[in-house]
Amino acid sequence: MKILSAQQLAQADQATLKSQNITSDELMERVAQLVFERMHQRLNGAPVPIKIFCGIGNNGGDGLAIARHMIQHGYHVTTYITNCSKHRSDDFLKNYERIKDITKDWPILLDCKDDIPAIDNGDIVVDAIFGTGLNRPVDGWMADLFEAINATQAFTVAVDMPSGLLADTAQPENSAIIKADHTFTFQTPKLSFFQVDTGDFVGTFEVIDIGLDPAYINQAQPIATLITREAAQNIYKPRKKFTHKGDYGHVVCVAGHESTMGAAVLCAGAAINAGAGKVTAYIPNDGDIIMQTSLPEVMTLLDDDDHALSDIRIPVKDYVMCIGPGIGQDDVTVSAFAKAIKYQSSPIVIDADGLNILANKRAFLKEVPAQSILTPHDGELERLVGKWNNSTERLEKAKELSKKYDVILVLKGAHTMTVSGDHVYINDSGNPGMATAGSGDVLAGMISSLIAQGYEPLMAAVFGVYIHGAAGDLVAQSYAHEGLKASLISNFIGAAILQLFRNPEASNS
Ligand SMILES: NC(=O)C1=CN([C@@H]2O[C@H](COP(=O)(O)OP(=O)(O)OC[C@H]3O[C@@H](n4cnc5c(N)ncnc54)[C@H](OP(=O)(O)O)[C@@H]3O)[C@@H](O)[C@H]2O)[C@@H](O)CC1
Ligand SMILES: Nc1ncnc2c1ncn2[C@@H]1O[C@H](COP(=O)(O)OP(=O)(O)O)[C@@H](O)[C@H]1O
Ligand SMILES: [K+]
């Protein structure tokens, strides 16, 4: 699913008015009707007090139109206008008149801190103050109002976006933002919904298709793409009947150190579980028994050193290298790593200590083959690109690194972002149970496995990340977040691929 910028959405809005020959007021009415229907479906006429806060732009106009529908359906609605600017939009003013025609009274105007109404924990708050038109930080009494709303337990529903949140530009520190429990967002989700410093303000969210001009949406270059189940289905490559293991590639996992052989086992195991034809683990000599007893399907190549990797020689043709899980940073290993990546000419996957070595010895970055995949968590990313002040800057720094060295970055987190030049793919599967030791090793093995099977590196990363999260989601259904561990994610890779094509209704029955 495309993620468009606030500016693109405003253009889509204009294109829609033209192509569908409707007025902006009619579009606002359509939007309000769609939000109202969803709220009505859930509330089912409940006599709960609903407090709708409306700004004076089009987001406020939406709020007023939603309020009107709710009042007409017998809901207990109080409508407030936050009188925060002299510039009232035309469609706000039309809806301001219309609601008065129904209630025979004007909505309550809020002008200062003293006007902020009491909000009870049992109320429902609808936030229609600011949407994509926010153009400066919220301050003064409006910030006090946001704080008052956030301080209550009242269930808060945001219209299009939580007010105070920017859609796709850097959010200033300590911004006043309404913390929504649920957000009805229009046409496409916004980039800030997926960023670690802003995503929590959105609560759960629902994308409402408001019927914006398909021609505009189709040609628009998205600022990011959300990888949903449907997107993952389209990337999957089914196997052909007359094939053999040679068709599914060979992964060599260069991994492990005396106290971290588990990382090598997890990485190689995930490479096998994700479908590679053959997997070899290149490990310190003492790791042989551990690997061979843990994973009978995996072959081993042993380093001369018992405890660490000291000289990585791989006498095998045509393989995909995955290097880094649990290798440590002993001096011998750093030199061996440099030599190993220098001899690679096709894309490899670099994770964990492989990334830390690259951060310490930046000259090695030039030796990384084009289109290789680097899979940093935020600690590793910071070592590679330096500190950032906000998520927008984090993403910009990652794009720069990706372009400078022609590599693909998998920025791991709650919504893992795969960055290739200016293209960003945001993952929509996974859960907090996956924040557990070794789950990154599993991901690195999976992505290498997919490259070995013929997926282009970028698609291997995007699809691998999705299936990794989906496997984690299946594990969580039986083991809860707490019981989820890395080896279980690996064991559920096949189930996650099956689940991609299972009819969700059939699987519930
Ligand atoms: N495109 C679509 O798909 C569709 C969009 N639709 C809806 O329109 C929404 C966008 O509406 P919008 O452009 O009128 O902007 P909006 O968010 O109401 O805010 C602008 C107002 O706020 C003010 N203001 C801003 N910052 C402020 C601050 N910090 N503190 C105080 N004031 C501040 C600013 O005032 P000014 O800067 O002029 O003084 C201006 O008056 C969008 O989110 C969606 O809900 C649908 O109806 C149809 C389809
Ligand atoms: N809150 C979360 N929600 C979804 N996925 C998560 C969350 N936290 C971590 N993950 C995923 O778990 C994995 C953790 O990787 P990493 O930090 O490298 O672990 P390790 O180094 O222990 O192997 C990543 O794929 C990341 O996206
Ligand atoms: K809002």
Residues of the chain with CATH 3.40.50.10260: 2-222
CA of 201 from ligand 3 middle (Å) equals: 11
- pLDDT exceeding 70 applies to what percent of the chain? 99
- Is the pTM higher than 0.90? The answer reads yes
Q: What is the mean pLDDT of residues 295-321?
A: 97
pLDDT at 304 over 80: yes
Q: Which amino acid is residue 220, in one-letter code?
A: A
Q: Is 435 touching ligand 2 by the criterion CB < 6 Å? A: yes
Does the pLDDT of residue 98 top 50, yes or no?
Answer: yes
Give the angle 207-502-464 at the CA atoms, nearest 5°: 75
> Going by C-beta distance under 8 Å and a sequence separation of 6 or more, which residues neighbour residue 402?
408, 409, 419, 420, 421
User: Residue 4 C-alpha to ligand 3 middle, in angstroms?
Assistant: 17
**Dihedral pair phi/psi, residue 299, rounded to 5°:** -90, 160
- pLDDT value at position 24? 97
The whole-number pLDDT of residue 503 equals: 81
Given this model, what pLDDT does residue 506 score?
63
Binding residues for K(+): 59, 127, 163
What number of other Cβ atoms are within 10 A of residue 297's Cβ?
A: 12
Q: Using CA positions, which residue lies closest to atom 37 of ligand 1?
A: 135
| Neighbour tally for 471: CB within 10 Å | 31
The class that CATH gives domain 247-500 is alpha beta
Burial class of residue 257 (count of CB atoms within 10 Å of its CB; 0-12, 13-18, 19+) = buried
Cα 6 from Cα 482, distance rounded (Å):
38
Lowest mean pLDDT among 108-122, 265-279, 440-454: 108-122
Nearest atom, ligand 1, residue 91 CA: 47
Distance 127 CA to ligand 3 centre (A): 5
| Beta carbons of 119 and 51 less than 8 angstroms apart | yes
Please give the CATH architecture assigned to the domain spanning 2-222.
3-Layer(aba) Sandwich (3.40)
In this structure, the residue with its CA closest to atom 9 of ligand 2 is 435
In the reported structure, the alpha carbon of residue 168 is separated from the centroid of ligand 1 by a whole-number distance in angstroms of 15
How far apart, in whole angstroms, are the C-alpha atoms of residue 61 and residue 17? 17
Instruction: Report the candidate in 480, 484, 472 with the shortest Cα–Cα distance to residue 436.
Output: 484
Instruction: Give 192-207 pLDDT, tens digit per residue.
Output: 999 999 999 999 999 9
**Whether residue 508 has pLDDT greater than 70:** no
Give the residue-averaged pLDDT of 392-421. 98
| Tokens, residue 379 | 């600690």
Among 439, 462, 463, 493, say which to mutate for ligand 2: greatest number of ligand atoms within 8 Å of CB: 439
Give start-end residues of each CATH 3.40.1190.20 domain in the chain: 247-500
Residue with tokens 């691929």: 497
Q: Which residues sit in the known binding site?
A: 58-62, 127, 131-137, 160, 163, 263, 326, 377, 412-416, 440-441
Inter-residue contact 9 to 188 (CB < 8 Å): yes
Per-residue pLDDT for 505 more than 80? no
> Ligand 2 atom closest to Cα of 437?
22
Structure confidence at residue 445 as a pLDDT band (50, 70, 90): very high
What's the mean pLDDT in 287-294?
A: 97
